[in-house]
Amino acid sequence: MNYLSIKYAQCNIRSKKLASRLVSQANFTNEDIVFEIGTGPGLLTMELARYAKKVISFEIDKSIYNKILNRFSGIKNITLLNMDFLDYKIKKEKYHVFANIPFNCTTKIMRKLFFNKNPPDLSYLVMQKEAVYKYTGKPRLTKVSLLFLPGFDVRIIWKFKRTDFFPPPGVDVTMVKIRKRTKSLVKYTDWQIYKKLIDLCFVPGSPNLKRSLKRILGYTQAKTILNRINVPLNTRPNTLRYLQWLKLFYYIKDTIKIK
């Protein structure tokens, strides 16, 4: 049966056994509210309903929604919504996310979930591998990862075979676990300075930290700070490890005010 339309193309998990195995790793309980973005054929939805107090599943495609509506009609803890998750107003309540998100909507969905006033405490997302790298900062830091990592711990917990999906995707796919940190690695009062440093270092024409920091600190001070954190002067900003970036930020924060 074809659950896909061209407009809302999504690669769905093929096996009920695999869906069960993935959901069981989340350890959701009967106290948890879980959002699912992209119901698809409903394999993940049914498994989530076995554990969670309430599953709110969003399906934008009207034809898919109509096909599976009757299937879920007798399950009281599943709420199926025929709408775009991006249009949903997230309430001020604790919630988790478990979703096989459409790859062409990854950036918008990640922005809505994690760059808002009420992000989920725990998320399990099936994502394209290249998109995961954008947020983990591995193998290289990105501006997005530097904004994301202070508030969230993210790690890959599953690597799929392309044959795990129908239709098989043309890219490698992983599942990530994203947990909201109990305390941000960057204080709220320091956030504007932190973002300013990112903007200053990740700009065209600044191939290394020496050139970037020289503009705001001067050569001598830039060299001193980089030596303290054992980073060569010709290091590119995106090749730092995240903990090195935090050390750099806190040295600069304590040394100079960036206007």
Give me the DSSP letters along 49-70: HHH-SEEEEE---HHHHHHHHH
What is the mean pLDDT of the segment spanning 37-56? Answer: 96
Do 32 and 48 sit in the same domain of this protein? Answer: yes
Domain range for 16: 12-180
Tokens linked to 38? 């992209």
Enumerate residues 6+ apart whose C-beta is below 8 A from 124.
22, 25, 26, 97, 98, 99, 157, 175, 176, 177, 178
What is the mean pLDDT of the segment spanning 185-195? Answer: 92
Rounded to two decimals, what is the model's pTM? 0.90
* 164 assigned to some structural domain: yes
Mean per-residue pLDDT of the chain: 91
Is it true that the peptide bond before 139 is cis, omega within 30 degrees of 0? yes
Is there a contact between 150 and 123 (Cβ–Cβ < 8 Å)? Answer: no
pLDDT of 8 strictly over 50 = no
pLDDT of 14 strictly over 90 = yes
* 73 assigned to some structural domain: yes
Count of domains observed in the chain: 2
Percent of the chain scoring above 70 in pLDDT: 94
What is the mean pLDDT of the segment spanning 132-152? Answer: 95
pLDDT of 1 strictly over 50 = no
pLDDT of 204 strictly over 80 = no
How far apart CA 201 and CA 204 sit, in angstroms, is 9
Do 165 and 207 sit in the same domain of this protein? Answer: no
Do 174 and 192 sit in the same domain of this protein? Answer: no
Q: Which residue has the higher pLDDT, 223 or 160?
A: 160
Do 157 and 214 sit in the same domain of this protein? Answer: no
Write out the H or E segment, with its range, that includes residue 111.
helix 106-114
Do 132 and 217 sit in the same domain of this protein? Answer: no
Condensed to tens digits (0 to 9), the pLDDT of residues 86-101 reads: 999 998 899 999 999 9
Q: Which of 40, 46, 78, 41 is nearest to 60 (CA)?
A: 40
Q: What is the pLDDT of residue 7?
A: 44
What is the mean pLDDT of the segment spanning 219-242? Answer: 90
Do 148 and 227 sit in the same domain of this protein? Answer: no
In Å, the largest CA–CA distance within the chain is 70
Enumerate residues 6+ apart whose C-beta is below 8 A from 109.
37, 85, 86, 99, 101
